[in-house]
Amino acid sequence: MKYKAFLIKYAEIGVKGKNRYLFEDALVKQINHRLKGIDGKFLVTKESGRIYAAAEEEFDYDEAVEALSCVFGIAGICPLVQLEDMDYEALKAGAVKYIGEAYPDRNFSFKVVARRADKQYPVSSDQINRDVGEAILNAYPETRVDVHNPDVLLRVEVRHQINLFSETIPGLGGMPTGTAGKAMLLLSGGIDSPVAGFLTAKRGVTLEAVYFHAPPYTSERAKKKVIDLAGQVAAYAGPIRLHIVNFTDIQLYIYDECPHDELTIIMRRYMMRIAECIAAETGCLALITGESIGQVASQTLQSLAVTNEVCKLPVIRPLIAFDKQDIVDWSLKIGTYETSVLPYEDCCTIFVAKHPVTKPVLRRIENSEAKLAEKIEALVEAAVAGREIVRC
């Protein structure tokens, strides 16, 4: 079957009222961007509530579908056969040929649904349904019509050319990138935070990311892993600027001054503070983490509350109620899992106590942090100022 174009179906942006064109334009932009990355040239157009991507030269079908499958905002991808010849006999012959090629095994029921965008076309939609149905039955007597529950639903669209399609490949859903502001993802090398970033980006949010490392306690390989993960999320979310913050001096200072069972929680509070600081500098409207209730000591509700206490920006936690297996399934689906499970050290695990507090009390944590008064501000400032920025 020679498909030359795709009809792109979108879900939610269809109901955005007056701002709808903004969302459609953003989606067209993202589709163009993705299709530019593959061989072949496409013309992407918006026509009365639909988006079409038509190939202007030879292209690899699988590659094109793969590219479109990574675009947020697409609910379904319909490969189209287009007939330039508007003649009615040619339409019927085209439909018969389409069915013959798309469904070599003829034992199926079908229904034809025609739609005329071009109301000047001399045959009504109902008549097209009946005539095309009859032509298919004549050509393939093993098939049968079922108008209620057909195996194959053949759509015939009459526009300035005739579009035939019957398959819908599911898209990612969500909202087009760039339609919902920017947020700062706290990206570690684990399984969770890349998925959290992906799910937030899926709602149209543009991402920046921050990674805290602790050289020489954490290696270059661990850093490379996070850069790779950011790149993998960027394949969906668009380019991500990754801010790499050297957290070593802060961690050592906390380690020297504070009770060891509170290290994790205090460290996490400093991560949030620094992330918020960089978020303010870069125009981010929220933070994003991969936290999930009860997963580890620092993710009890008590710990989350004490961590959250230092943030003024909203903290988006898309995985908060996910089971681990669901998170793993997502990471497999989006392709980050294999990188996430590479066994490189994480800056938090190196300094963690054997028995961290699971129900921290805010006042006590604040008292411990008071012991850091002498140097912490300067250390935080130096960490923010000395960060490395990598474009992924």
- DSSP designation for 313: S
Q: Judged by CB under 6 A, does residue 295 bind ligand ATP?
A: yes
Q: How far is the CB of 70 from ligand ATP (least distance, A)?
A: 22
CA distance 345 to 297: 18
Q: Which residues contact 317 (CB under 8 A, 6 or more apart)?
A: 196, 288, 289, 290, 291, 292, 304
CA dihedral 199, 201, 207, 213 (to 10 degrees): 10
Residue 327: CB minimum distance to Mg ion, A? 12
Residue with tokens 């793969």: 66
Subset of 299-328 contacting ligand ATP (CB under 6 A): 299
8 Å CB contact between 327 and 223: no
Residue 198 is a binding residue for ligand ATP (CB under 6 A): no
Under rule CB under 5 A, which residues in 43-102 are in contact with Mg ion?
none
Question: From Mg ion, ligand ATP, none, which one binds at residue 187 (CB under 5 to 8 Å depending on kind)?
Answer: ligand ATP
The CA distance from 261 to 303, in Å, is 13
| Residue 298 near ligand ATP by CB under 6 A | yes
Q: Which residue is nearest to ligand ATP (CB)?
A: 190
Burial environment of residue 139 by CB neighbours within 10 A (0 to 12, 13 to 18, 19 or more): middle
Binding letters toward Mg ion, positions 184-223, x by CB under 5 A: ----x-x---------------------------------
When asked if residue 262 is in the footprint of ligand ATP (CB under 6 A), the reply is no
Site for ligand ATP in 206-225 (CB under 6 A): 210-212
Q: Which residues contact 379 (CB under 8 A, 6 or more apart)?
A: 249, 250, 253
Q: Lay out the sheet containing 287-288: strands in order across.
A: 315-316, 287-288, 182-186, 206-213, 241-246, 388-391
| 212 interacts with, out of Mg ion, ligand ATP, none, CB within 5 to 8 A per kind | ligand ATP
The number of residues that bind ligand ATP (CB under 6 A) is 21
Q: How many Cα neighbours within 13 Å face the side chain of 41? A: 2
Q: Is residue 360 near ligand ATP by the rule CB under 6 A?
A: no
> Closest separation between CB of residue 178 and ligand ATP, Å?
23
Interface pick for ligand ATP out of 129, 289, 336, 339 (rule CB under 6 A)? 289
Residues that bind ligand ATP (CB under 6 A): 186-188, 190-193, 210-212, 271, 289-291, 295-296, 298-299, 346-348
Residues that bind Mg ion (CB under 5 A): 188, 190
